Amino acid sequence: MKLEGLSILGQARVKPAGKPNAAINPATGAVIGPDYFWSTTADVDAAAELAAEAFVEFSRWHGKRREGFLKRIAELLEANAAAIVERANQETGLPVARMQGELARTCFQMRQYGEAAASGLCAGARIDHADPNRKPLPKPDLRSMMLPLGPVVVFSASNFPLAYSVAGGDTASAFAAGCPVIVKPHQGHLGTSEIIGLLVQQAARECQAPAGIFSMLYGAGRDVGIALVKHPLVKAVGFTGSRSGGRALMDAAASRPEPIPVYAEMGSINPVFFLSGVMNQKPEELAAGLHGSVTLGVGQFCTNPGLIFVERGSGAKVFLQKLESLIAATAPGTMLTADLCAAYRAGVEKFSQASGVKRLALASADLGPGKAQGGAALFATDAETFLKNHHLMDEVFGPSTLVVQCSSREQILEAAKRLEGQLTATLHGLPEELDANRELLEILATKAGRLVFNGFPTGVEVAHAMTHGGPYPATSDGRSTSVGTRAVDRFLRPVSYQNFPDAALPDELKDSNPLKLARLLNGKLILP
């Protein structure tokens, strides 16, 4: 496949008038061609108009047909796996094996969300029959289902160049919902985005989808991105990235004459609590498990455990010594981009200078020009310092973690209450310790979207029951998830039909159930 650095506008490829930019190999600093041309507001208008036009037809597609489109995307990604993996590896420094695994996950996700659309899971059809004899007033016939919102803008994530990028979870869930997508690719993997964008375009063509079902505009977030979010024809936004970026999009969306939802997944430090019983039993094993999770993927996961709570004692002492030696010996890894690496190094420096915080270990890394390497870091503090310094909850995106040593259970509870919203919270303990720590669990359930027991937060399963979300600032809307089939719900809204003749109802709500969907009939779930 020949890469040309062009944006995608429906079935066309366009060379925007904006400035050219090239991809950079973060392992060497070398430029990788071709040049990518930044889009302009004229391109934004064209993409939004095309998407709104496509929505009229695409929103009428049954779930089965949407599933066919998603499946075809997955097939094309698989057929082009070698080219995708090679380019993603060059642009992000992520190892080939990781890219292969992530591609498999991306395809699985496409198919799973497609199945959810076909099975009726996303339609959520409900029927309440009329009761003309009800006293004092007759009951109307009411039927409801979830309908797509309209064109969705997706901001790709830097840290998942496949699974949360051009054909990633946000795009898959918007398509499964019946919404056209306009992608604003991440600058960290321009060529990977082009390859995948062209495959989505091909799938759309083969499935005879309306042209504007998919567009992709290269450009800077602050102009093209904001212009997309503010465009009156755009109806929702999906985003993964920094808190400041997500917040800027939330504010832009809220200031529109017609505000729209922004589903932003932002920073999280994913606290891990170790209870003393389990800590005294196997401190070295826990340290090894935590080290693996902190340093996985050079720490560049939104579920990276950046904050650890332990109760002082002999077990915690051994745990810290072991963790210190493991972190110090961690081999350096290439980070996704030079900017991200600079932000990581600045975060490590800030924690190194923080009063009351001790740097226990900093692994070596090549800091030379063109080398975006991050060395793993371990910090420790006491609960008093943590409770007094809100900034110790700032995300340091990379392989760094802070251990807070507490002197009592009360201090642990106090610290838990101070936490901001998180994607995950983890508890390590013996089963017999759980009863005595019920209050801690109850607090954590108010703070995080996913609670993990005796495990580590990295590794997010794509599943029906997955919640990858959490109260602000982990996400912009703690009622949502960006992973798992519930992610589709973000791009749907309920509509009720009252007293409509059967023939005028959508197929999903007709008495004969022609699509054979599971439906809630007079309050009872009826399977086809």
Catalytic residues: 265, 302
Q: Are 468 and 490 within 8 A, CB to CB? A: no
Helix, coil or strand: residue 400: strand
Asked whether position 193 contacts ligand NAP by CB under 6 A, the answer is: no
Determine, following the binding rule CB under 6 A, whether residue 91 of this chain makes contact with ligand NAP: no
Q: Reduce the DSSP state of residue 262 to 3 states and report it.
A: strand
180 vs 185, which CB is nearer to ligand NAP? 185
Is 482 a residue that touches ligand NAP (CB under 6 A)? Answer: no
Q: Which is nearer to ligand NAP, 319 or 351 (CB)?
A: 351
Nearer to ligand NAP, 211 or 376 (CB): 376
- Indicate whether 220 belongs to the interface with ligand NAP (CB under 6 A): yes
Tallying the residues shown for the chain, one arrives at 528
- Tell me which residues in 225-244 interact with ligand NAP (CB under 6 A): 225-226, 240-242
Backbone φ, ψ for residue 476 (5° rounding): -80, -20
Cα distances from 58 to residues 68, 168, 245, 299, 333, in angstroms, run 13, 19, 30, 39, 43
The answer to whether 469 and 475 are in contact (CB under 8 A) is yes
- In the complex, least distance from residue 222 CB atom to ligand NAP, rounded to whole angstroms: 5
Query: Cα(334)–Cα(372) distance, rounded to whole angstroms?
Result: 5
- Rule CB under 6 A: choose which of 77, 196, 200, 248 binds ligand NAP: 248
Smallest separation, CB 157 to ligand NAP (Å): 6
In the complex, least distance from residue 229 CB atom to ligand NAP, rounded to whole angstroms: 8
Q: Cβ(145)–Cβ(494) under 8 Å? A: yes
Estimate the crossing angle of helix 81-92 against helix 96-119, to 10 degrees: 120
489 binds ligand NAP (CB under 6 A): no
- Find the farthest-apart pair of alpha carbons in the chain and give their distance in angstroms, rounded: 81
Name which of 278 and 396 has its Cβ closer to ligand NAP: 396
Q: Which is nearer to ligand NAP, 266 or 326 (CB)?
A: 266
Task: For residue 164, give the nearest of 102, 95, 82 by alpha carbon.
Answer: 102
Cβ partners under 8 Å of residue 434, min gap 6? 441
Least separation in angstroms between residue 28's CB and ligand NAP is 20
Give which of 391, 152, 166 is closest to 249, Cα–Cα: 152
* Euclidean distance between CA atoms 498 and 495, whole angstroms: 10
DSSP bridge pairs for 498: 142
Cβ of residue 187: shortest distance to ligand NAP, in angstroms?
A: 4
**Which residue in 180, 210, 221, 261 binds ligand NAP (CB under 6 A)?**
221
Local structure of residue 168 (DSSP, 8 states): S
**In the complex, minimum distance from the CB of residue 292 to ligand NAP, in angstroms, rounded to a whole number:** 19
Whole-number Å distance between alpha carbons of 432 and 409: 16
| 234 CB-contact burial (10 Å; exposed 0-12 / middle 13-18 / buried 19+) | buried
Positions in 396-455 near ligand NAP (CB under 6 A): 397
Question: Among the candidate windows 42-50, 51-59, 221-229, 406-414, which touches ligand NAP by CB under 6 A?
Answer: 221-229
Among 38, 55, 155, 214, binds ligand NAP (CB under 6 A): 155
Among 116, 177, 302, 354, binds ligand NAP (CB under 6 A): 302
Asked if residue 24 lies in contact with residue 31, where contact means CB atoms within 8 angstroms, the answer is: yes
94 touches ligand NAP (CB under 6 A): no
Give the 3-state DSSP-derived string for 421-454, with helices as H, strands as E and coil as C: CEEEEEEECCHHHCHHHHHHHHHHHHHEEEEEEC
Q: Does 476 bind ligand NAP (CB under 6 A)?
A: no
Alpha carbon distance 167, 73 (integer Å): 8
Binds ligand NAP (CB under 6 A): choice among 10, 68, 267, 374: 267
Task: Please report whether residue 181 would count as binding ligand NAP according to CB under 6 A.
Answer: no
Nearer to ligand NAP, 154 or 323 (CB): 154
**Single residue of 62, 186, 291, 486 touching ligand NAP by CB under 6 A:** 186
**341 lies in the site for ligand NAP, by CB under 6 A:** no
Contact between 260 and ligand NAP by CB under 6 A: the answer reads: no
Instruction: Using CB under 6 A, count the residues that bind ligand NAP.
Output: 27
516 near ligand NAP, judged by CB under 6 A: no
Considering only residues 53 to 82 of the shown chain, the ones binding ligand NAP according to CB under 6 A are none
User: Which residues bind to ligand NAP, rule: CB under 6 A?
Assistant: 155, 157-159, 184, 186-187, 220-222, 225-226, 240-242, 245, 248-249, 265-268, 302, 340, 343, 395, 397
